[in-house]
């Protein structure tokens, strides 16, 4: 290990605080709830501060090096710009989610298990983005997958929650296999697990092997970031407690896929077809999920679909080659989507249902939540001057300049759709007439505004929604630390980004499309009734089947089940037949060895 | 090196292996299954001693053989104990009859 300096200490603490916190919460025991709240929030905030402290210290050098023997290589942590940035996002938004949980989870049992998993989860995510060894990265990748499974199924007496967790686990594991195949192929060709070494020597890898690695990583990223065709797990993951949704779906896990693509973009950009594939995945996800969000009636599912859609934007940006725009949107999205999820959590917590049709008119009951939710929604819709506007414009601009025109047009249309479904959601929840049976008031007549700990978390995120775009300049400089490449662009100052966005004609077009989306919602009653009805019916029928992807899942599951049933007949339970099988297998292996040698 | 004893031992190994395999495939009695497993392991022990002698590392072969004998005794004890329990609970030692019990 190199000499212990501040960077090393902070890198270790970013992960360490969270994991120590996880153990500490379990040690405190479920009998001492106040203690658990305090420990969880304390350690989460400490880790967030450590990650923030790491920001100015970013370096391309490995600061922690743990020798793992000749096969695994050294397990290193490299706090370079990209890694430090994502670690900061994960830990800061994560700590806000933990603070929010103090109020949200105050009636839940098994608080220890909840906090321990959440802290372990954030720690694993921080480790994932700071890891400098491909195998270590894979290990953290799987830890994150496990924690998300356990947290989605947190209410393990609810069959829907358990099913959602298992679905998420199966699909992300499938992606994990792609990552593992890629990592092992990289090791087989280069004989080294270091990310740095791989990026520097990717051009020496034979093209076929590099293609395996590139597409393996793409599958992993698509599964983790809930992109088409692996997106179906994310809406079902909404059974999790809402702070967990905010964590998994805004700040941490889903960003891992985009991180993976951005990190390895310099190595894969020249693989034939890879960038097209990335762009296609992004565009399809953005479009499909925006349509689904328009149809959904469950508040959290709307947010889940919009997450898929926004991640589609980031993936598309990576495909176009605009890594900076993609990561900048990731930052904006992490902040405003966490805000939306936590705001939705406050609503659900107070009303007791997730069905938007039963809400409506909640604005007067909870003005604080209404205000913060609307701010988050405006950022999501891309209204200036909120952070979502700047980052989305950057992506569209890059897409216009560097990508196929058709893809740009679709993404532009999705921006309009985004505005449409966002305003539909806000209207249904806060402003529209109360639902038919309107249980909200009766069920919870005392429902007031958000309690204090929720306000702390929400207020911080609102602040972030207003100011994170001002960090564009420093952020551009930060990303260039460690990994050099033209892909990251040379964004040196916020002012230049602002000028660029304002000067580009695409901004105006995008704003027009966004206001068009708004207008469609505002004047929806005045549209020709027939046109909307017939259009919506066809639309609805297609989206109700989730574009057919849910059917695909069922078909695959059915196939596996059917073949297992068919293979069952070979399991006779007869000892003598088993011996025949063993002896036969041995004979085949010996024959292969004899012939091969 | 005199090859004659080695060849004799090889024939012994193959013979024991054959008897064990045949028994394993044909027997339906659990106690007999344990016995034929013992025969199979004896083939392995003999092979170890033989291989040690052939490679000039007789001590290594002998110590490995001893280890196998110890481990194998435990297998036999546990196997026989299981057989007794099966006989007591299910009333039969016939493996085919036992296989149909699951339905």
Band the pLDDT of B31: cuts 50, 70, 90. very high
Amino acid A91: pLDDT: 92
Same structural domain, A572 and A523? no
Closest CA of chain A from B20, distance in Å: 11
Q: Which residues in chain B touch residue A573, judged by CB atoms under 8 angstroms apart?
A: 99-100, 102
Same structural domain, A557 and A520? no
**By CA distance, what is A578's nearest residue in B?**
B25
Residue A1 belongs to some domain of the structure: no
Same structural domain, A438 and A360? yes
- The pair of three-digit structure tokens given for residue A415, joined into one six-digit string: 């921006």
Q: Which residues in chain A touch residue B99, judged by CB atoms under 8 angstroms apart?
A: 572-575
Amino acid A1: pLDDT: 46
In A3-72, where does DSSP find H-type helix? 6-28, 33-54, 69-72
Closest CA of chain A from B99, distance in Å: 5
**Cross-chain residue pair B25–A576, CB shorter than 8 Å:** yes
Q: Which residues in chain B touch residue A572, judged by CB atoms under 8 angstroms apart?
A: 99
- The pair of three-digit structure tokens given for residue B35, joined into one six-digit string: 């016995």
Same structural domain, A505 and A568? no
Closest CA of chain B from A584, distance in Å: 12
Amino acid A463: pLDDT: 87
Same structural domain, A537 and A571? no
Amino acid B62: pLDDT: 92
pLDDT above 50 for A546: yes
Band the pLDDT of A3: cuts 50, 70, 90. low
Q: Is A33 exposed, middle or buried (0-12, 13-18, 19+ CB in 10 A)?
A: middle
- Predicted confidence (pLDDT) per residue in A318-336, tens digit: 988 888 888 889 988 988 9
- Predicted confidence (pLDDT) per residue in A475-495, tens digit: 777 777 765 554 455 566 677
Amino acid A118: pLDDT: 92
Same structural domain, A481 and A558? no
Are A407 and A399 within 8 A, CB to CB? yes
> How many whole angstroms separate alpha carbon A145 and alpha carbon A2?
31
Q: Which residues in chain B touch residue A574, judged by CB atoms under 8 angstroms apart?
A: 95-96, 99
Same structural domain, A414 and A559? no
> How many whole angstroms separate alpha carbon A171 and alpha carbon A167?
6
Higher pLDDT, A39 or A362: A39
pLDDT above 90 for A217: yes
A31 φ/ψ angles, rounded to the nearest 5 degrees: -75, -25
By residue range, what is the domain housing residue B57? 4-100
Same structural domain, A482 and A563? no
Band the pLDDT of A443: cuts 50, 70, 90. very low
3-state secondary structure of A355: strand
By residue range, what is the domain housing residue A565? 551-596
Closest CA of chain B from A577, distance in Å: 8
**Cross-chain residue pair A575–B33, CB shorter than 8 Å:** yes
Average pLDDT over residues A9-38: 88
Same structural domain, A539 and A560? no
Amino acid A353: pLDDT: 78
3-state secondary structure of B94: strand
- The pair of three-digit structure tokens given for residue A75, joined into one six-digit string: 């397990």
Average pLDDT over residues A376-396: 85
Encode A557-588: b = buried (16+ Cβ within 10 Å), e = exposed: eeeeeeeeeeeeeeeeeebbeebeeeeeeeee
Q: Give DSSP secondary structure letters for A99-163.
A: HHHHHHTTT-S-HHHHHHHHHHHHHHHHHHHHB-BHHHHHHHHHHHHHHHHHHHT-STT-HHHHH
Q: Which of A144-153, A476-485, A576-585, B32-41 has the lowest mean pLDDT?
A: A476-485
Among the candidates A502, A523, A544, a domain finishes at A544
Same structural domain, A437 and A532? yes
Average pLDDT over residues A89-102: 89
Number of domains in chain A: 2
Q: List the CATH number of the domain containing B19.
A: 1.10.287.3510
Same structural domain, A559 and A537? no
The answer, for B92 touching chain A at a CB cutoff of 8 Å, is: no
> How many whole angstroms separate alpha carbon A14 and alpha carbon A8?
10
The answer, for B4 touching chain A at a CB cutoff of 8 Å, is: no
> How many whole angstroms separate alpha carbon B26 and alpha carbon A579?
10
Band the pLDDT of B2: cuts 50, 70, 90. low
- Predicted confidence (pLDDT) per residue in A418-430, tens digit: 888 888 888 888 8
Of residues A304, A365, A367, A394, the one with CA closest to residue A340: A304
Number of domains in chain B: 1
Q: pTM for the full model? A: 0.80
Q: What DSSP character marks residue A435?
A: P
Same structural domain, A474 and A374? yes
**Cross-chain residue pair A576–B26, CB shorter than 8 Å:** yes
**By CA distance, what is A583's nearest residue in B?**
B21
């Amino acid at each position: 290990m190199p000499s212990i300096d501040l960077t090393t200490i902070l890198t270790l603490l970013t992960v360490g605080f969270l994991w120590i916190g996880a153990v500490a919460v379990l040690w405190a025991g479920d009998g001492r709830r106040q203690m658990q709240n305090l420990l969880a929030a304390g350690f989460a905030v400490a880790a967030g501060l450590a990650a923030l402290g790491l920001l100015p210290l970013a370096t391309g050098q490995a600061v922690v090096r743990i020798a793992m023997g000749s096969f695994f290589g050294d397990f290193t942590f490299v706090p370079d710009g990209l890694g430090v940035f994502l670690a900061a996002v994960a830990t800061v938004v994560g700590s806000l989610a933990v603070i929010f949980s103090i109020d949200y989870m105050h009636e839940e049992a098994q608080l220890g298990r909840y906090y321990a998993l959440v802290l372990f989860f954030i720690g694993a995510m921080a480790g994932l983005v700071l890891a400098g060894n491909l195998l270590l990265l894979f290990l953290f990748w799987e830890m994150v997958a496990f924690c998300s499974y356990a947290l989605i199924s947190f209410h393990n007496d609810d069959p829907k929650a358990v099913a959602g967790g298992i679905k998420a686990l199966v699909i992300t594991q499938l992606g994990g296999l792609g990552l593992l195949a890629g990592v092992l192929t990289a090791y087989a060709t280069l004989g080294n697990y270091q990310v740095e070494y791989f990026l520097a020597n990717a051009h020496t890898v034979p093209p076929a092997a590099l293609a395996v690695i590139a597409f393996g990583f793409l599958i992993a990223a698509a599964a983790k970031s809930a992109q088409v065709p692996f997106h179906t797990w994310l809406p079902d993951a909404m059974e999790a407690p809402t702070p967990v949704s905010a964590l998994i779906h805004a700040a941490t896990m889903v960003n891992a896929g985009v991180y993976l693509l951005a990190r390895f973009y310099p190595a894969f950009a020249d693989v034939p077809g890879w960038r097209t594939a990335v762009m296609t995945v992004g565009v399809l996800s953005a479009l499909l999920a925006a349509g689904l969000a328009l149809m959904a009636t469950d508040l959290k599912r709307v947010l889940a679909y919009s997450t898929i859609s926004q991640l589609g934007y980031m993936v598309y940006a990576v495909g176009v080659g605009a890594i900076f725009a993609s990561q900048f949107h990731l930052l904006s999205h992490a902040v405003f989507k966490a805000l939306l999820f936590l705001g939705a959590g406050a609503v659900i917590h107070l009303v007791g249902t997730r069905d938007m049709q039963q809400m409506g008119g909640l604005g007067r009951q909870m003005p604080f939540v209404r205000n913060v939710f609307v701010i988050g929604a405006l950022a999501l819709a891309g209204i200036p001057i909120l952070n979502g506007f700047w980052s989305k414009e950057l992506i569209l601009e890059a897409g216009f300049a560097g990508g196929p025109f058709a893809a740009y047009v679709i993404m532009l249309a999705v921006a309009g759709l985004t505005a449409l479904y966002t305003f539909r959601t806000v209207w249904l929840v806060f402003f529209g007439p109360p639902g038919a049976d309107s249980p909200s008031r009766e069920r919870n007549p005392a429902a007031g505004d958000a309690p204090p700990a929720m306000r702390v978390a929400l207020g911080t995120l609102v602040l972030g929604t207003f100011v994170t775009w001002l960090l564009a300049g420093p952020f551009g400089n930060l990303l260039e630390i460690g990994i050099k490449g033209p892909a990251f662009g040379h964004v040196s100052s916020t002012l230049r980004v602002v000028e660029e966005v304002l000067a580009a004609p695409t901004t105006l077009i995008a704003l027009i499309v966004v206001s068009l989306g708004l207008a469609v919602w505002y004047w929806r009653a005045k549209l020709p009734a027939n046109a909307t009805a017939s259009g919506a019916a066809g639309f609805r029928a297609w989206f109700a089947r989730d574009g057919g992807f849910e059917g695909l899942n069922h078909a695959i599951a059915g196939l596996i089940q059917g073949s297992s049933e068919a293979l069952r007949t070979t399991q006779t339970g007869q000892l003598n037949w088993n011996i025949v099988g063993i002896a036969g297998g041995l004979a085949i292996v010996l024959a292969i060895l004899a012939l091969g040698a | 090196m005199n090859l004659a004893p080695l060849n004799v031992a090889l024939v012994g190994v193959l013979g024991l292996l054959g008897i064990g395999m045949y028994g394993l495939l044909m027997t339906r009695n659990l106690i007999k299954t344990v016995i034929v497993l013992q025969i199979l392991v004896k083939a392995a022990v003999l092979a170890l001693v033989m291989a040690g002698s052939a490679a000039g590392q007789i001590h290594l072969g002998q110590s490995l053989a001893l280890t196998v004998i110890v481990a194998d005794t435990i297998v036999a004890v546990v196997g026989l104990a299981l057989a007794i329990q099966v006989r007591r609970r299910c009333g039969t030692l016939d493996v085919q009859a036992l296989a149909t019990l699951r339905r």
